[in-house]
Homo-oligomer: A and B are copies of this chain.
Amino acid sequence: MLQPPPAEPGMREEEVDTPALLLDLDAFEANLDAMAALLAPTGAKLRAHAKTHKSPVIARLQMERGAIGQCVQKVAEAEILAWGGIPDILVSNEVVGPRKLARLAALARISRVAVCADGAEQVAAYEAAAEAAGIRLPVLVEIDIGAARCGVEPGPPAVALAERIAGSRHLIFGGLQAYHGSAQHKRSPAERAAAIGGAAEATRRTVEQLRQRGLDCPIVGGAGTGTFPLEAGSGVFTEIQAGSYAFMDADYARNESPPPFRHALFVLATVMSRSIPGVAVVDAGHKAVAVDSGLPLVWERPGLRFAGASDEHGKILVEGGAAPVLGERLRLVPGHCDPTVDRYDWYVGVRRGRVECLWPVAARGAMA
């Protein structure tokens, strides 16, 4: 069941029911503007990643500020964006299975959709689905530039797969997908620069080898919030796939030089027990905030430390500062924004203490 919204426009932030997913609109808009300003001189375009926000509303706001389209990881996410009016969607991932492929191909009637491949078997399945739907489907070759997850090797294996796509009647070679996921969260700028330097070089070499075979890359896409200035400045990448930049999270903030964005996303929680001395228990645990990249931080309350989560409780240790009282609201900065957003049905947009808007997390749970 869809949960009822925890607030109404016009309410004060203290009246919002908890746990709630709070979007600080001033910070969020500043982040969209900051990304546009940072990318403008590079020539690289933003194709923002909707796996972070899962919202056609946010996608439209990103596109009003210069994003040329959206990425998703799943067909079910592509559906929500396409149905919500987003015209250009890249599934930056492999899609396996005839039902999913039929759903993806059906979207090509209302939006431009593209998908990635890292094997000949997938290319054959994409060709069959595109033929059945009577469309031509752009397919990018995903190359493995360091994450050792999906992707073919850069260079000749990538070229061979691209030629197979280009030679398929109902497919169009769409370019390269080159995302170095594990580089996003390396702590020091030097480590990130080394990882992306190697990745960009392998990508550049592959683009060049493709050109020699007569294959141009309409898209060379990749990068994330942790590394995008490197990819954008490389001269190789044409599209930047950052997502978290719009919200930020505690893990990105822990980097030695964190990205130049503001915390815009919070889980609003209520202190529900002050029975144990030195402990404030809030109503937000594992089901309310993702801990896979570390525990959340308590926002602007020095001396309060989120020390542990159970399913429905967060345990905050009062190590200094003002002790929170029963019923008090605390803003938590999630350790990892993407899976936190996916736990909620609603964004509560706030500006200077007032609820301004409610937006559905329309692709919440869209994993298929």
Residues in A lying within 8 Å of B, measured CB to CB: 1-4, 6, 17-19, 51, 73-74, 76, 80, 93-97, 99-100, 118-119, 121-122, 144, 148-152, 181, 270-276, 279, 281, 283-284, 286-288, 290-292, 309-313, 315, 326-327, 336, 338-339, 342-345, 360, 362-368
Which of B19, B272, B342, B344 interacts with A94 by CB under 8 Å? B272
Q: B273 near A94 (CB under 8 angstroms)? A: yes
Say yes or no: B286 contacts A290, CB within 8 Å. yes
Determine the main DSSP class of A at the interface with B.
loop
Question: Which chain B residue lies CB-closest to A182?
Answer: B310
Q: Are A364 and B291 in touch, CB under 8 angstroms?
A: no
CB distance from A245 to the nearest CB of B (A): 15
Q: What are 18 A-B interface contacts by the 8 Å CB criterion?
A: A1-B364, A1-B365, A2-B2, A6-B368, A19-B367, A73-B311, A93-B272, A96-B270, A96-B283, A96-B327, A148-B279, A149-B276, A286-B339, A287-B339, A292-B292, A311-B338, A343-B365, A343-B367
Query: CA–CA, A338 to B309, complex, Å?
Result: 13
Given contacts A3-B368, A292-B286, A310-B181, contact A149 B342 (CB under 8 A): no
Pick the contact of A17 from B1, B99, B287 — CB < 8 Å?
B99
CA distance A152 to B281 in the complex (A): 13
A307, chain B: closest CB distance, angstroms: 11
Question: Do the beta carbons of B291 and A144 come within 8 Å of each other?
Answer: no
A121 touches B326 (CB 8 A): yes
**Which residue of chain B is the closest to A152 with respect to CB atoms?**
B275
Count of chain copies: 2
- Which residues on the B side are within 8 Å of A152 (C-beta)? 275
Across the two chains, which residue of chain B brings its CB closest to A118?
B275
Given contacts A119-B273, A144-B276, A270-B96, contact A17 B326 (CB under 8 A): no
- Determine whether the beta carbon of A96 is less than 8 Å from that of B271: yes
Contact B99 A149 (CB under 8 A): no
| A96-B270, A291-B292, A363-B1 given; A149·B313 CB < 8 A | yes
- Are B144 and A287 within 8 A (Cβ)? no
Give the chain B neighbours of A100 by CB distance below 8 A.
17
B365 contacts A149, CB within 8 Å? no
Complex CA gap A99/B329 in Å reads 14
Kindly state the separation between the CA atoms of A279 and B144 in the bound complex, as whole angstroms: 13
- Residues on the B chain within 8 Å of A119, using CB: 273-275, 326
